[in-house]
Homo-oligomer: A and B are copies of this chain.
Amino acid sequence: MILPKSALITDVSPRDGLQSEGASIPTDDKVRLINALAHTGIRRIEVTSFVHPKIVPSMADADEVFRRIERVAGVSYQALVPNVRGADRAIAAGADELNVVLSTTEGFNLRNLNMTVAESIETFRAVAEVARAAGLRAEVGLSVVFGCPYDGPVGLREVLDVTDRLIEAGAEEILFADTIGVANPRQVTETVESIRARWPKLNIGLHFHDTRGLGIANVLSGLEAGVNRFDASVAGIGACPFAPGATGNVCTEDTVHMLESMGVNTGIDLEALIDCARVARELVRHEVPSRLLRAGAWRVP
């Protein structure tokens, strides 16, 4: 088994994890979670989203969150932005990186973003220019790569087509997302291998949901195909308001535990991460999918 020597984990719990929890999480609690995460050794955190508060009320405090968080050296604080207006706000707030989400399918893009895929790609192009002008990078989160709740199965050809257009629009890093948790490990391997064969320099990341229990197996499959960037959410919190049936993101501590146990370095302190998962569970006030939060790491006797 040949695996990458190290992996870059982005914890998306403050944004993707909390977004579906409604507007009930106090800003102070978000700041507490983000600061705790920043002290685990993690190198990238998706902090919040600069989407219009009417669309995502739970992220209405985006500016405030950025104002209050501690800025730990070595941590990149990423913000999701829907358009140039959001990018301007995020840059003014002090985001280190921007993240634009768009979909592989027209059905999901229309329902989720009220735009065609072509319009979203132009939006990304404009955001990427604004980011570059500010000395920052803009990444892409590409939704429903492995299956769409509206358009059904997604072919590799559609994925490659959108990827081509995104790269033409300036994308250097794309996170391929299984938004509704329908990917299987074989599909992950085939998808990654096809993309890499076509675009060897693209930074390929993967974003899985554990809806049907395959999140961690899909991470493994991606790793074996050479991917070393993964989104994950501490405690496994999160869902997608636009993706019926989707449950939590793949759990950060369970993912880090697997990687470290196989000798893939994440730079993350697992015990500190489990403490963050405890904070996240407190915030959402319901059971969370994390296994390590229940079992703990193995204490060798």
Judge whether A185 and B149 touch: CB under 8 Å.
Answer: no
Judge whether A213 and B245 touch: CB under 8 Å.
Answer: no
Q: With both chains docked as a complex, state the minimum distance between the C-beta of A287 and any C-beta of chain B, in angstroms.
A: 8
- Which of A15-23, A63-71, A251-259 touches B? A251-259
Residues of B within 8 Å of A180, CB to CB, are 298
Binary interface profile of A, 97-117, with partner B (CB < 8 Å = 1, else 0)? Answer: 000000000000000000000
Judge whether A147 and B186 touch: CB under 8 Å.
Answer: no
Judge whether A184 and B149 touch: CB under 8 Å.
Answer: no
Q: With both chains docked as a complex, state the minimum distance between the C-beta of A190 and any C-beta of chain B, in angstroms.
A: 8
Judge whether B152 and A301 touch: CB under 8 Å.
Answer: yes
Q: With both chains docked as a complex, state the minimum distance between the C-beta of A179 and any C-beta of chain B, in angstroms.
A: 12
A18 to B180, CA, bound (A): 32
Partner of A216, one of B148, B213, B224, B301: B213
Residues of B within 8 Å of A151, CB to CB, are 301
Q: With both chains docked as a complex, state the minimum distance between the C-beta of A281 and any C-beta of chain B, in angstroms.
A: 15
Partner of A184, one of B186, B210, B258, B291: B258
Binary interface profile of A, 285-299, with partner B (CB < 8 Å = 1, else 0)? Answer: 000001110111110
Residues of B within 8 Å of A214, CB to CB, are 216, 254, 257-258
Max count, chain B CB within 10 A of own CB: residue among A184, A247, A296:
A184
A54 to B274, CA, bound (A): 40
Partner of A213, one of B212, B263, B292: B292
Judge whether A185 and B152 touch: CB under 8 Å.
Answer: no
Q: With both chains docked as a complex, state the minimum distance between the C-beta of A133 and any C-beta of chain B, in angstroms.
A: 41
**Closest chain B residue to A236, Cβ basis:** B213
Residues of B within 8 Å of A59, CB to CB, are none
A240 to B4, CA, bound (A): 35
Judge whether A245 and B295 touch: CB under 8 Å.
Answer: yes
Interface residues of A in 219-246 (CB under 8 A from B): 219-221, 224, 245
Partner of A1, one of B3, B189, B261, B291: B189
Q: With both chains docked as a complex, state the minimum distance between the C-beta of A211 and any C-beta of chain B, in angstroms.
A: 5
A150 within 8 A of B: yes
Residues of B within 8 Å of A219, CB to CB, are 217
Given A186-B1, A262-B185, A301-B150: A295 in contact with B212 (beta carbons within 8 A): yes
Partner of A212, one of B181, B185, B254: B254
**Closest chain B residue to A253, Cβ basis:** B213
- Besides the contacts A185-B262, A213-B258, what 4 more A-B pairs have beta carbons closer than 8 Å? A147-B300, A152-B300, A184-B262, A186-B263
A-B pairs with beta carbons under 8 Å apart, 7 shown: A1-B185, A1-B186, A149-B301, A187-B262, A214-B258, A217-B219, A247-B295
Query: CB within 8 Å of B: which residues of A?
Result: 1, 3, 147-153, 180-182, 184-187, 189-190, 210-214, 216-217, 219-221, 224, 245, 247, 251, 254, 257-258, 261-263, 290-292, 294-298, 300-301
